[in-house]
Structure 1
Amino acid sequence: MITIQTKLTFPSKEDEQAVADLMRRWSSCVRFAYNRLLEGWDRNALKRELQRVFNLNSRYVDDAIMKAKSVLESYRERDENPSKVIFGGRSLFDKLKKRHINGKAYKKLKQEWQERRKGNLYSRGDRSKKGNLNTRIEVDENGIWLRINVGERKYVYARIQAGWKRGKSREGLLEAIGVCGEPYSVELKLKNGKVYAYFTIEEDFPEAVVTKENGVIGIDINAYPEHIAWAEADANGQLVSYGKVPMPHLASGNSSKREYYRWQYAWEVVRLAEEKKKAIVIERLDIRDKGKRGDFSGRKLRRIRHNFSYRSLLDKVKILAQRKGIQVIEVDPAYTSVIGLLKYAPQYMISKDEAAAYVIARRGLGLKERIPEGYMAIVEHLDAGELEGLKEHVKKTVKNKQLRKKRLKEIERAEKFIQSLGSELGEVPRPLYGTSLGACSGSYGLWRVLKVAVVTPLSPDRVLRDVSVLRRVMYSGQVGRPG
């Protein structure tokens, strides 16, 4: 997808007011549709009701229903209560409720929330209409204009300003979009009393010529410290090379600066794949907060995670690779870091991040991971006494309250998993020996148990840095203590 941000200017205040009124009605239409969808309304009945109440044409109503559905599905996917949604933004709404500011600052905050809530309009493109019927780009000798349908056979024209930095190149692209006949979507947003337009058109990528038949490069993005770990594997899944791409500019700076550097780092990954003639394997990330404070416990780490933008960087890698004809494979990210740390970091004496990238690469080739014999021996001989002793060791050793709580929960989950196998601790059934990933529903659980049984005794209060100690454990089947 290619998206171009522009600013709209209107010949008269009346035209600007007509568009503002259209945006207000459309935004209200989305909220109304959302509430009716929660109540289980039929789409056809809902569409007729929306057209009657908000005086919008069929296409605008279709787009409003689509937006409402996308918000509803997003809340359900995140296992959040969809009835608690606040259009305009919960964070801004909470600030307004607290009344911790007054005067001009409060008025500015209230205006921002109202603009986010009421100042929206979205219009999908249509191939049969050669572009976009409700919001169409038109070009004449006076410049580029956006024709906006504000009512039955009534149109308003707004001049498109492409921006002073890249105005000429963007104007040329907008002209091409307007005359090519391909469908393009237009989204209007109200910000600080001004109307901005976002034009989006689908990009046609060339057919992939670099595929996984030549091997792959797996990438693992890490937020602290900021870097991309990569690992190259041949077509058989054997490790060929590995390395890191440092990303020091993503921890600070304004959003425009970070966006620029994200493109630069994505280019480095794509150039690497282009040089080595390898496909790229990335994680299919589903980034969401875990609890009220998110995944990270400290303020600094939460800030780094917020600024890091995993998905944005991966999307850029994907787009740039597809433009170069390089195949991009997305895989399930579950337990890649755990498997990399336990199996490949000690085997090849590489970092846990590079090992995770290698697991991602192998997963992209469709290969499955087998648990080493020494590790399985540890799981098979686990008993309730050992896990209880490990709990006591964690309570005495780990001083950080949140980390201690996390370690204890990991041990409890390991206990529940072993008990769910239908056996007592210490009697894990032999058919699980050498279990491959994906071979049974409990395979990931075994890796979880291994992390508890192997890594926690060695390093309960910090990240395990010396992976060489795991090499001895992996082959001996005995967990010792680092000297």
Structure 2
Amino acid sequence: MVTVQAKLIFEGGEDKQRVLDLMRRWSSCMRYAYKRLLEGYKRNELKRQLQGIFNLNSRYVDDAIMKAKSVLNSCKERRESPKKVIFGGRQLFEKLQKRHINGDQYRKLQLKWQEKRKGNLYSRGDRSKKGNLNTRIEIDGSLTKLRINVGEKEYVYATIQPGWKVKGGTYRDRNQLLQAISTLGEPYSVELKLKNSVVYAYFTVEEIFPKSEITKSNGVIGIDTNAYPKHIAWVETDEQGQLLEYGRIPMPELESGISSKREYYRWQYAHMIVEMAKDNQKAIVIEKLNIKDKGKRGDFSGRKSRRIRHYFGYRLLLEKVKLLAKREGIEVIEVNPAYTSLIGMLKYAPQFMVSKDVAAAYVIARRGLGLRERIPHNYMMFLSRLDVNELEELKEYVRKVVKNTYVRKKQLREIGRVIKFLQSLESEAERLSVPLDGTSTGSRGENHNLWRVLKVAVVTPLSPDRVLRDMSVLKSLLVSGQVGKTYKGVSSCFLGQGLWLSQKPPAGAGKA
């Protein structure tokens, strides 16, 4: 959907007043319909009744009932009480109840709340009427006007002032876009809102996309978004999933700044990704993100993490990529992002000597092609020798060595889950019979647990107190099944081989 925001200029004060009266009656009709829906009334019962009460035609009444239903359904989806809805905004309403606010400040808040409560009008488009019957865009020479039905065959004309925001895309000439919408004959919806005594119009039309000609049959480009540091990791593969090229796009502009600036740069980065796919004739594979609040305060691991994710806007960026790709006829494939970073870190980062983010993008690309990830043979042999007692020993070691409370709790919790998983496997035969793909439908799948077991058993001993960045240490184990080089002074003989960790003295120790 493309939404164009514009300001309405009326020829006289009387025309504007008639439109404001229409908006007031429609808003009252919508609130009245909402109350009746709570009481169990049906649409057909309400429609004729509301026309007489609020002096509105059947189309306006139908749109008011539809809006009331959408508010009701939204409350049910959020598991909130529909009876506690406050039209005009709960936050403003609660501010007005505070006794310490008075004078001009109180009157401004009251005016703002009344405008949000009473200054609304919505009119749906109709394909059979070639656009919108109640609020129609008309071209008058060089001007674009909006014809508003305010009564029985009574209309008010308002000039549409171009140059305002467009949601869902970027266009150089908004006036030209509105004229194109009016002449195509496609249905478009119009919503009027009153803000600071000015009437704004929002025109929404469904965009028609061309058929996707660039598909995954030519290969794909996998995209992995990363909030810290802010960048996009990308990989290009052929149709069989073989790695061709990779890189990263840093995005420092999304670190801070006003929302309009960040929005502008999101569009720029989305254009870069789509142009890359278009030049290489590849489909785009992205993560199907469903970001939910985590942690006690609902802010992931703290205030810093919450701020990073707020400024980055994963979903906003990926939605722009999807929209621009559809306009160019490029296929966009969304995949489940679960365990992509973990699989990439353990399997492809040491194999191709790339960063974890690039490896995660490669896993995403392969999922888009329908390929399934299996644990390499040497890793599987390593898991078959893994012992619960050694994990218990690792648990005690982490408890003693790691000073960071947050990291220690996370590591201990992860090791505990792995121990429970291994204890649930009664024999070697049962352990090896577990499916080894890394693309299970649920996060509790046993195959995913095997990747988690591998992470705890291999990565945690190497770097128990911090995130391991250099994955090249795993290459020897991945390729030959042998222990690789040490990491930052830690001598490691992996779990399952009967030896433990010992700290090496720093360089130069013991010298005079």
TM-score range (shorter-chain normalised) is 0.7 to 0.9
Q: How does 1:203-282 map to 2 (within 5 A)?
A: 203-282=207-286
Alignment pair present for 1:59 and 2:59 = yes
Q: d(CA) in 2 for partners of 1:144 and 1:123?
A: 18
Change beyond 3 A, Cα 1:193–1:387: farther
The structure 2 residue matched to 1:366, chosen from 362, 366, 370, is 370
Q: d(CA) in 1 for partners of 2:296 and 2:450?
A: 29
Q: d(CA) in 1 for partners of 2:403 and 2:54?
A: 60
Q: How does 1:459-478 map to 2 (within 5 A)?
A: 459-474=463-478, 476=481, 478=494
Q: d(CA) in 2 for partners of 1:425 and 1:96?
A: 68
User: 1:279 deviation in Å?
Assistant: 1.0
1:114-173 alpha-carbon deviations (Å, 9 max, x no partner): 544544333221111100122211222472221223445443332211138999922222
Alignment pair present for 1:336 and 2:337 = no
Q: How does 1:40-439 map to 2 (within 5 A)?
A: 42-45=42-45, 56-70=56-70, 80-81=79-80, 83=82, 104=104, 108=108, 111-112=111-112, 115-141=115-141, 143-163=143-163, 169-290=173-294, 293-377=297-381, 379-380=383-384, 385-414=389-418, 423=425, 429-432=431-434, 434-435=436-437, 437-438=439-440
Q: d(CA) in 2 for partners of 1:36 and 1:450?
A: 58
User: 1:71 deviation in Å?
Assistant: 5.1
Q: d(CA) in 2 for partners of 1:54 and 1:304?
A: 48
Find the structure with the greater CA-based Rg: 2
Q: How does 1:445-456 map to 2 (within 5 A)?
A: 445-456=449-460
User: 1:176 deviation in Å?
Assistant: 1.9
Checking the alignment, whether the CA contact within 8 Å between 1:378 and 1:453 is kept in structure 2 is no
Q: d(CA) in 1 for partners of 2:381 and 2:239?
A: 31
Change beyond 3 A, Cα 1:425–1:193: farther
1:409-431 alpha-carbon deviations (Å, 9 max, x no partner): 44455456566xx5459885321
Tell me the SS of whatever aligns to 1:429.
helix
Q: Which runs of 5+ in 2 are unaligned?
A: 483-493, 505-512
Checking the alignment, whether the CA contact within 8 Å between 1:34 and 1:69 is kept in structure 2 is yes
Which is worse superposed, 322-331 or 263-272? Answer: 322-331
Q: d(CA) in 1 for partners of 2:38 and 2:397?
A: 50
In the alignment, which residue of structure 1 is the partner of 2:7?
Answer: 7
Checking the alignment, whether the CA contact within 8 Å between 2:293 and 2:300 is kept in structure 1 is no
1:29-62 alpha-carbon deviations (Å, 9 max, x no partner): 5556666667776554565666566554443344
One-letter amino acid of the structure 1 residue matched with residue 253 of structure 2: H
> Structure 2 length normalisation: TM-score?
0.80
Checking the alignment, whether the CA contact within 8 Å between 2:189 and 2:205 is kept in structure 1 is yes
Checking the alignment, whether the CA contact within 8 Å between 2:299 and 2:305 is kept in structure 1 is no
Q: d(CA) in 1 for partners of 2:81 and 2:44?
A: 22
One-letter amino acid of the structure 2 residue matched with residue 215 of structure 1: G
Which is worse superposed, 99-108 or 354-363? Answer: 99-108
User: 1:344 deviation in Å?
Assistant: 1.4
Tell me the SS of whatever aligns to 1:265.
helix
Checking the alignment, whether the CA contact within 8 Å between 2:231 and 2:250 is kept in structure 1 is yes
Which is worse superposed, 144-153 or 396-405? Answer: 396-405
Checking the alignment, whether the CA contact within 8 Å between 1:131 and 1:183 is kept in structure 2 is yes
Change beyond 3 A, Cα 1:289–1:433: closer
Change beyond 3 A, Cα 1:129–1:316: same
User: 1:302 deviation in Å?
Assistant: 2.0
Change beyond 3 A, Cα 1:444–1:80: farther
One-letter amino acid of the structure 1 residue matched with residue 121 of structure 2: L
1:459-481 alpha-carbon deviations (Å, 9 max, x no partner): 34432212123334545394476
User: 1:401 deviation in Å?
Assistant: 4.3
Tell me the SS of whatever aligns to 2:324.
helix
Q: d(CA) in 2 for partners of 1:33 and 1:412?
A: 54
1:416-459 alpha-carbon deviations (Å, 9 max, x no partner): 6566xx54598853211534524894333433444444434433
User: 1:311 deviation in Å?
Assistant: 2.0
Tell me the SS of whatever aligns to 1:432.
coil
Q: d(CA) in 2 for partners of 1:50 and 1:453?
A: 68
Checking the alignment, whether the CA contact within 8 Å between 1:345 and 1:355 is kept in structure 2 is yes
User: 1:340 deviation in Å?
Assistant: 1.6
1:327-357 alpha-carbon deviations (Å, 9 max, x no partner): 2222222222222222211221111111111
Give percent identity, aligned residues only. 65
Q: d(CA) in 2 for partners of 1:35 and 1:400?
A: 54
One-letter amino acid of the structure 2 residue matched with residue 156 of structure 1: V
Checking the alignment, whether the CA contact within 8 Å between 1:376 and 1:433 is kept in structure 2 is no
Checking the alignment, whether the CA contact within 8 Å between 1:382 and 1:426 is kept in structure 2 is no
Change beyond 3 A, Cα 1:52–1:232: farther
One-letter amino acid of the structure 2 residue matched with residue 335 of structure 1: Y
In the alignment, which residue of structure 1 is the partner of 2:16?
Answer: 16
Q: d(CA) in 2 for partners of 1:242 and 1:320?
A: 21
Checking the alignment, whether the CA contact within 8 Å between 1:368 and 1:438 is kept in structure 2 is no
Change beyond 3 A, Cα 1:308–1:93: farther
Q: d(CA) in 1 for partners of 2:151 and 2:276?
A: 52
Q: d(CA) in 1 for partners of 2:126 and 2:140?
A: 22
1:74-103 alpha-carbon deviations (Å, 9 max, x no partner): 5666x6546476655566667667789776
How big is the alpha-carbon RMSD for the aligned residues of Structure 1 and Structure 2? Answer: 3.7
Aligned length: 480
Change beyond 3 A, Cα 1:357–1:436: closer
Change beyond 3 A, Cα 1:332–1:434: closer
> Structure 1 length normalisation: TM-score?
0.84
Tell me the SS of whatever aligns to 1:330.
strand
One-letter amino acid of the structure 1 residue matched with residue 149 of structure 2: N
Q: d(CA) in 1 for partners of 2:257 and 2:346?
A: 36
Which is worse superposed, 454-463 or 182-191? Answer: 454-463
User: 1:234 deviation in Å?
Assistant: 0.6
One-letter amino acid of the structure 2 residue matched with residue 10 of structure 1: F
Q: d(CA) in 1 for partners of 2:373 and 2:91?
A: 43
